Chain A
Amino acid sequence: MADSISIKSFTFRYPGSHRNALSEVSLEIQAGSCCAILGPTGAGKTTLLQAVAGVLGAHHAQAAANGHIQIGSVVHSPLPRSILFPRVGLFLQDPTVQISGIRDNVEDEVRFTLDNLRVGDEEAVQRVRIQLEELGLGMLATRPLSQLSGGELQRVALAGMLVASPPVLLLDEPLNSLDATAQARLLRLLATFRGRHTVVLTDYGIDAALRLADRVVVLSEGRVLYQGAPAGLVSRSEEFVDLLPADSLVRLSGLAGDERIPSPERRFFRKILGAL
């Protein structure tokens, strides 16, 4: 059963920092929906996900924070003080660090999560089998982890989280290390989660948002600049010229049927943003 997420006026500053990592962030994400959080590096996307997952509260007890975060019916003020797994699953940017390092093959690696949750043997075996099939890893069940490709490792890491069936799924730039085929596969999979899980994913570009998201949030320097339907972002693409990568802008302007930007200027934008 998916959970809703409600964030109200959330502000967070890391210890030793002189500026807020997140400032007065307010978001509403409906249960079972998909929300894409966009923004450049340093915008606060990862910080926001880690705040919701409980990582910030667990590991930065001395940090200054205001506001509150509500997941389902549970209100955390200002933020969760312990990691909320298995209610909230967080998939990190680097999939390789999510491989435990203490299991040898794919099946055992995915089972590691259920062992931590003290799930019984029979149930664990079944859940692992189902999860591996869902992610196309059934044939690799007994394969040693050292023999997997980067994309396969990412799927194993994802399976290791999904096997716990968290109602809320947070994915930090999940498409980054994948080729186009693997990206398409992952997006198709995430589309099947609608209704079953609440999905929040961050991305540098617009693709996932346009293909998947019910709601898009644009973050910059810890503040929310836009939140709403993806269509709204399309009509306001010029406002985010400095924040989104060139290919995203080109797609947005194409979607808007916007021929006002002539080719030489489009090339100029690409050059400037490429240099950045």
Chain B
Amino acid sequence: MTIGIPEKLALTLFLVVAAVTLPWNISALLIAALLSARTLIPALRPLDQTARRRFRKIFFVLLCLVAVMTAVNSVFVRSGAVWAEIAGIRLFEGGLLFGLTTGFRLLLIAAAFLVLFGSTSIGAFADYLNHVGIPGPIATTALLSLHFLDHLPERIQQIFIAQESRGAPLRGNLVARIRSFFLLLSPLVLSSIVESIERGTALELRGFHLGISLRTASGPGNRHWSPTTVALLAFSIILVVYRLTLWLIPSP
């Protein structure tokens, strides 16, 4: 079974639909299944150490946030029976269920996208978009954005240091921090606008005009969907229809 970009996109779509339509315990099972698949299936593994670290960090942070929000919701959303009482604080079943549902929904959606982007190079992704007919400017802009995103932390750091050396109050009370935000914003935005325009000119000076599609090393793409893709898309549609049916037809 080959897992290429179409299959990964279909899997992501299926997981997102499942997160929105199915109960929290199924979402939890799907998260566990996805984490296992990420380890066992080569096509779903992170491309490099950076992707691996990013996944771990974001997933762990989200997991903690889910725990916190579940606890907070079970205190403030006072619906259903009292589930527990801790140090005089009552925890309600309705709030707990609400917290678990939304928490695991977000966690599954986040995990699905993290696996997709962690296991797919953006170049390959942009080429795929181009093959399926997404206009060239969109794919090219996505690639350029990621190129800039790589260099941006360095530039922000330089501006931070430059402003701090001029006495800008980068720490302090809210007013001071807002002021320092604007001190950072101005050089960052202005220098970036100038540079982006120069880059645009440089691209034109190499004959690049909007509408030219990107060359792909892999040659013309295959527009036929694999059975895996079809199956995942079918499951997604079934889930959506199932959920809509439940919503439209009132329970007795």
Contact = CB atoms under 8 A, between A and B. Distances in A.
Contacts of B203: 100
B221 interface: no
A200 interface: no
A86 interface: yes
Contacts of B206: 85, 98, 100, 112-113, 116, 160-161, 164
Nearest to B207: A116
Contacts of B242: none
A89 B214 contact: no
Closest 3 CB pairs of A and B: A116-B207, A101-B147, A102-B143
Nearest to B208: A116
B215 interface: yes
Interface of B: 123, 126, 140, 143-144, 147-148, 195, 198-199, 201-209, 212, 214-215
Contacts of B199: 97, 101
Given A85-B206, A86-B207, A160-B206, A104 B123 contact: yes
B212 A115 contact: yes
B201 A94 contact: no
Given A92-B202, A97-B198, A113 B207 contact: yes
Contacts of B204: 55, 58, 83, 85
Contacts of B205: 53, 55, 83, 85, 89-90, 92, 98, 161
A90 B205 CA distance: 7
A267 interface: no
B69 to A, nearest CB: 39
A253 B126 CA distance: 58
A241 interface: no
B202 A117 contact: no
Nearest to A92: B202
A92 to B, nearest CB: 6
Contacts of A85: 204-207
Contacts of B126: 102
A100 B208 contact: yes
A89 B201 CA distance: 12
Contacts, number: 61
Contacts of A115: 212, 214-215
Interface string A75-106: 00000000101100110101001101110100
Contacts of A185: none
A59 interface: yes
- B123, B140, B147: most-surrounded residue (chain A CB, <10 A): B147
A170 to B, nearest CB: 10
A85 B205 CA distance: 6
A273 B149 CA distance: 40
B202 A98 contact: yes
B137 to A, nearest CB: 12
A101 to B, nearest CB: 4
A146 to B, nearest CB: 8
Given A55-B205, A85-B204, A97-B202, 12 more contacts: A53-B205, A58-B204, A83-B205, A85-B206, A92-B198, A92-B201, A101-B199, A102-B144, A111-B215, A115-B214, A116-B212, A117-B207
A169 B123 CA distance: 32
B191 to A, nearest CB: 12
B190 to A, nearest CB: 16
Contacts of A161: 205-206
Most chain A CB within a 10 A radius of its CB, from B198, B202, B212: B202
B151 to A, nearest CB: 9
A227 B208 CA distance: 35
Contacts of B215: 111, 115
